[in-house]
Amino acid sequence: MSSSVLIQFAHPALEKSRVNRHLIQAVRDLPGVFFNDLYENYPDFQIDVRHEQELLRRHATIIFMHPFYWYSSPAIVKEWLDLVLEHGFAYGQTGKELVGKRMLNAVTAAGPQEAYRPEGYNKFTMRHLLSPFEQTANLCGMQYLAPFVVHGSLHMHSLAEVMPYVRLYRSIVQALVEDKVDYAAAAKAESLNTILFSETSFS
Ligand SMILES: Cc1cc2nc3c(=O)[nH]c(=O)nc-3n(C[C@H](O)[C@H](O)[C@H](O)COP(=O)(O)O)c2cc1C
Protein backbone atom coordinates (compact mmCIF):
# COMPACT_ATOMS: atom_id res chain seq x y z
CA MET A 1 0.00 0.00 0.00
CA SER A 2 1.31 3.48 -0.80
CA SER A 3 1.61 5.93 2.06
CA SER A 4 -0.14 8.67 0.15
CA VAL A 5 -2.52 11.00 1.92
CA LEU A 6 -6.07 11.97 0.93
CA ILE A 7 -7.23 15.26 2.44
CA GLN A 8 -11.01 15.49 2.55
CA PHE A 9 -11.39 19.23 3.07
CA ALA A 10 -14.71 20.73 4.17
CA HIS A 11 -15.26 24.47 4.74
CA PRO A 12 -18.62 25.91 3.66
CA ALA A 13 -17.37 29.52 3.60
CA LEU A 14 -13.74 29.38 2.56
CA GLU A 15 -13.83 32.99 1.32
CA LYS A 16 -14.27 34.07 4.96
CA SER A 17 -11.64 31.71 6.36
CA ARG A 18 -8.65 33.14 8.19
CA VAL A 19 -6.95 29.92 9.29
CA ASN A 20 -7.90 27.04 7.00
CA ARG A 21 -7.12 29.10 3.90
CA HIS A 22 -3.46 29.24 4.99
CA LEU A 23 -3.33 25.65 6.21
CA ILE A 24 -4.53 24.33 2.85
CA GLN A 25 -1.94 26.34 0.92
CA ALA A 26 0.76 24.55 2.91
CA VAL A 27 -0.35 21.03 2.03
CA ARG A 28 -2.51 20.94 -1.08
CA ASP A 29 0.43 20.70 -3.50
CA LEU A 30 2.70 18.44 -1.48
CA PRO A 31 3.84 15.35 -3.42
CA GLY A 32 1.93 12.31 -2.19
CA VAL A 33 -1.10 14.38 -1.17
CA PHE A 34 -4.43 14.40 -2.99
CA PHE A 35 -6.51 17.40 -1.93
CA ASN A 36 -10.27 16.95 -2.29
CA ASP A 37 -12.39 20.05 -1.59
CA LEU A 38 -15.83 18.62 -0.79
CA TYR A 39 -17.84 21.86 -0.77
CA GLU A 40 -16.21 22.97 -4.01
CA ASN A 41 -16.83 19.63 -5.74
CA TYR A 42 -20.31 19.04 -4.35
CA PRO A 43 -22.00 22.42 -3.72
CA ASP A 44 -25.38 20.68 -4.05
CA PHE A 45 -24.32 17.74 -1.82
CA GLN A 46 -24.66 15.33 -4.78
CA ILE A 47 -21.64 13.28 -3.77
CA ASP A 48 -20.16 10.98 -6.42
CA VAL A 49 -20.00 7.84 -4.27
CA ARG A 50 -18.06 5.64 -6.72
CA HIS A 51 -15.47 8.35 -7.32
CA GLU A 52 -15.02 8.92 -3.58
CA GLN A 53 -14.68 5.19 -2.95
CA GLU A 54 -12.02 4.98 -5.64
CA LEU A 55 -10.12 7.84 -3.95
CA LEU A 56 -10.26 5.93 -0.67
CA ARG A 57 -8.93 2.77 -2.33
CA ARG A 58 -5.93 4.68 -3.69
CA HIS A 59 -4.79 6.29 -0.42
CA ALA A 60 -3.39 4.94 2.83
CA THR A 61 -4.26 7.86 5.12
CA ILE A 62 -7.49 9.85 5.11
CA ILE A 63 -7.51 13.28 6.77
CA PHE A 64 -10.83 15.01 7.40
CA MET A 65 -9.76 18.64 7.48
CA HIS A 66 -12.36 21.14 8.64
CA PRO A 67 -13.32 23.90 11.06
CA PHE A 68 -14.95 22.53 14.21
CA TYR A 69 -18.71 23.21 13.94
CA TRP A 70 -20.99 22.40 16.85
CA TYR A 71 -18.46 20.01 18.31
CA SER A 72 -18.18 18.13 15.06
CA SER A 73 -17.61 18.74 11.35
CA PRO A 74 -19.49 20.83 8.80
CA ALA A 75 -22.51 18.99 7.41
CA ILE A 76 -21.05 17.72 4.16
CA VAL A 77 -18.66 15.44 6.03
CA LYS A 78 -21.61 13.65 7.65
CA GLU A 79 -23.33 13.35 4.27
CA TRP A 80 -20.10 11.99 2.81
CA LEU A 81 -19.79 9.38 5.60
CA ASP A 82 -23.43 8.35 5.24
CA LEU A 83 -23.16 7.83 1.49
CA VAL A 84 -19.60 6.70 0.83
CA LEU A 85 -18.94 4.23 3.65
CA GLU A 86 -21.35 1.64 2.28
CA HIS A 87 -21.97 -1.82 3.64
CA GLY A 88 -19.99 -4.22 1.48
CA PHE A 89 -17.37 -1.52 0.82
CA ALA A 90 -16.33 -0.13 4.18
CA TYR A 91 -17.80 -2.61 6.62
CA GLY A 92 -19.67 -5.91 6.78
CA GLN A 93 -18.49 -9.41 5.89
CA THR A 94 -17.38 -8.43 2.40
CA GLY A 95 -16.61 -4.79 3.11
CA LYS A 96 -12.86 -4.76 3.63
CA GLU A 97 -11.65 -1.94 1.36
CA LEU A 98 -10.49 0.30 4.20
CA VAL A 99 -8.81 -2.29 6.40
CA GLY A 100 -5.29 -1.24 7.44
CA LYS A 101 -5.68 2.39 6.38
CA ARG A 102 -5.44 5.34 8.78
CA MET A 103 -7.81 8.17 9.57
CA LEU A 104 -7.49 11.43 11.45
CA ASN A 105 -9.10 14.85 11.74
CA ALA A 106 -7.32 18.17 11.23
CA VAL A 107 -9.50 20.81 12.85
CA THR A 108 -9.55 24.48 13.71
CA ALA A 109 -11.60 25.50 16.75
CA ALA A 110 -12.49 28.86 18.24
CA GLY A 111 -12.35 27.47 21.77
CA PRO A 112 -9.00 27.53 23.58
CA GLN A 113 -7.29 24.28 24.53
CA GLU A 114 -8.15 24.72 28.24
CA ALA A 115 -11.89 24.82 27.37
CA TYR A 116 -11.67 21.29 25.96
CA ARG A 117 -11.26 19.33 29.18
CA PRO A 118 -13.61 18.19 31.97
CA GLU A 119 -13.06 21.36 34.03
CA GLY A 120 -13.34 23.64 31.00
CA TYR A 121 -16.52 25.20 29.62
CA ASN A 122 -16.70 22.66 26.80
CA LYS A 123 -16.53 19.77 29.33
CA PHE A 124 -15.15 17.22 26.88
CA THR A 125 -11.77 16.79 25.28
CA MET A 126 -11.40 17.27 21.55
CA ARG A 127 -10.51 13.59 21.23
CA HIS A 128 -13.68 12.66 23.12
CA LEU A 129 -15.85 14.86 20.91
CA LEU A 130 -14.32 13.32 17.79
CA SER A 131 -15.08 9.78 19.02
CA PRO A 132 -17.74 9.14 16.30
CA PHE A 133 -14.90 9.46 13.76
CA GLU A 134 -12.70 7.19 15.85
CA GLN A 135 -15.34 4.49 16.15
CA THR A 136 -16.18 4.78 12.44
CA ALA A 137 -12.50 4.11 11.73
CA ASN A 138 -12.50 1.17 14.16
CA LEU A 139 -15.56 -0.40 12.57
CA CYS A 140 -13.94 -0.14 9.14
CA GLY A 141 -10.70 -1.73 10.35
CA MET A 142 -8.77 1.52 10.15
CA GLN A 143 -6.36 2.95 12.69
CA TYR A 144 -7.55 6.28 14.09
CA LEU A 145 -4.80 8.78 14.89
CA ALA A 146 -5.04 11.73 17.26
CA PRO A 147 -6.26 14.95 15.64
CA PHE A 148 -4.17 17.93 14.62
CA VAL A 149 -5.87 20.90 16.30
CA VAL A 150 -5.58 24.67 15.98
CA HIS A 151 -7.24 26.23 19.02
CA GLY A 152 -8.28 29.87 19.36
CA SER A 153 -8.83 30.24 15.63
CA LEU A 154 -11.05 33.33 15.88
CA HIS A 155 -8.30 35.23 17.69
CA MET A 156 -5.83 34.78 14.88
CA HIS A 157 -5.80 38.04 12.97
CA SER A 158 -2.47 37.94 11.15
CA LEU A 159 -0.54 35.50 9.06
CA ALA A 160 2.23 35.63 11.67
CA GLU A 161 -0.13 34.11 14.26
CA VAL A 162 -1.17 31.30 11.91
CA MET A 163 2.30 30.50 10.53
CA PRO A 164 3.52 28.23 13.38
CA TYR A 165 0.46 26.02 12.80
CA VAL A 166 0.93 26.13 9.05
CA ARG A 167 4.50 24.86 9.46
CA LEU A 168 3.51 22.23 12.00
CA TYR A 169 0.62 20.94 9.88
CA ARG A 170 2.81 20.73 6.80
CA SER A 171 5.40 18.75 8.78
CA ILE A 172 2.75 16.36 10.05
CA VAL A 173 1.29 15.75 6.59
CA GLN A 174 4.78 15.34 5.17
CA ALA A 175 5.62 12.79 7.89
CA LEU A 176 2.42 10.86 7.08
CA VAL A 177 3.31 10.81 3.37
CA GLU A 178 6.82 9.60 4.17
CA ASP A 179 5.60 7.05 6.72
CA LYS A 180 7.77 8.60 9.43
CA VAL A 181 5.11 8.72 12.12
CA ASP A 182 5.24 6.74 15.36
CA TYR A 183 1.71 5.39 14.75
CA ALA A 184 1.35 3.71 18.13
CA ALA A 185 2.09 7.00 19.90
CA ALA A 186 -0.06 8.94 17.44
CA ALA A 187 -3.01 6.63 18.07
CA LYS A 188 -2.81 7.18 21.83
CA ALA A 189 -2.06 10.91 22.03
CA GLU A 190 -4.59 13.64 22.78
CA SER A 191 -3.46 15.56 19.72
CA LEU A 192 -0.83 15.24 17.00
CA ASN A 193 0.52 18.68 17.81
CA THR A 194 2.93 17.35 20.39
CA ILE A 195 3.50 13.85 19.19
CA LEU A 196 7.01 12.58 18.59
CA PHE A 197 7.85 11.41 15.11
CA SER A 198 10.62 8.94 14.50
CA GLU A 199 12.85 11.65 13.04
CA THR A 200 11.44 14.98 14.15
CA SER A 201 9.89 16.21 17.35
CA PHE A 202 7.40 18.99 17.87
CA SER A 203 6.56 20.78 21.08
C1 LIG B 1 -21.70 27.06 12.66
C2 LIG B 1 -20.48 27.20 13.47
C3 LIG B 1 -20.29 26.35 14.55
C4 LIG B 1 -19.11 26.44 15.33
N5 LIG B 1 -18.94 25.57 16.36
C6 LIG B 1 -17.79 25.61 17.09
C7 LIG B 1 -17.57 24.68 18.14
O8 LIG B 1 -18.40 23.80 18.43
N9 LIG B 1 -16.42 24.78 18.83
C10 LIG B 1 -15.45 25.71 18.55
O11 LIG B 1 -14.43 25.73 19.22
N12 LIG B 1 -15.64 26.61 17.53
C13 LIG B 1 -16.78 26.57 16.81
N14 LIG B 1 -16.97 27.44 15.75
C15 LIG B 1 -15.87 28.34 15.36
C16 LIG B 1 -15.10 27.76 14.15
O17 LIG B 1 -14.43 26.59 14.52
C18 LIG B 1 -14.14 28.81 13.62
O19 LIG B 1 -14.96 29.76 12.97
C20 LIG B 1 -13.13 28.23 12.65
O21 LIG B 1 -12.23 27.37 13.31
C22 LIG B 1 -12.33 29.34 12.01
O23 LIG B 1 -11.55 28.81 10.95
P24 LIG B 1 -11.45 29.58 9.56
O25 LIG B 1 -10.75 30.88 9.84
O26 LIG B 1 -10.66 28.73 8.65
O27 LIG B 1 -12.86 29.78 9.08
C28 LIG B 1 -18.13 27.40 15.00
C29 LIG B 1 -18.35 28.27 13.92
C30 LIG B 1 -19.50 28.17 13.17
C31 LIG B 1 -19.70 29.12 12.00
Domains in the chain, number: 1
**Ligand 1 centroid – CA 31 distance (Å):** 29
Residue-wise pLDDT tens digits, 103-133? 999 999 999 999 999 999 999 999 999 999 9
* CB-CB contact of 57 with 4 (8 Å): no
Q: Give the number of other CB atoms < 10 A from CB of residue 167.
A: 12
pLDDT number for residue 183: 96
Asked if residue 117 is part of any domain, the answer here is yes
Which pLDDT band, with edges at 50, 70 and 90, does 197 fall under? low
Give the range of the structural domain holding residue 185, as residue numbers without chain letter: 5-194
**Ligand 1 centroid – CA 15 distance (Å):** 14
**Ligand 1 centroid – CA 160 distance (Å):** 20
Q: Which atom of ligand 1 is nearest to the CA of 151?
A: 11
Assign 144 to helix, strand or coil: strand
Asked if residue 141 is part of any domain, the answer here is yes
What's the rounded Cα separation, in Å, for the pair 133 and 145? 10
pLDDT number for residue 194: 85
Asked if residue 203 is part of any domain, the answer here is no
Percentage of residues of the chain with pLDDT beyond 70: 95
Asked if residue 201 is part of any domain, the answer here is no
What is the CATH number for 158?
3.40.50.360
| pLDDT for residue 188 is more than 90 | yes
Asked if residue 38 is part of any domain, the answer here is yes
pTM, rounded to two decimals: 0.96
| pLDDT for residue 4 is more than 50 | yes
Residues with CB under 6 A from ligand 1: 17-20, 67-71, 108-111, 153-154
Asked if residue 68 is part of any domain, the answer here is yes
pLDDT number for residue 127: 97
Those residues with Cβ within 8 angstroms of residue 26's Cβ, 6 or more apart along the chain or in another chain: 166, 167, 169, 170
* CB-CB contact of 34 with 5 (8 Å): yes
Q: Which residue minimizes the CA distance to atom 4 of ligand 1?
A: 69
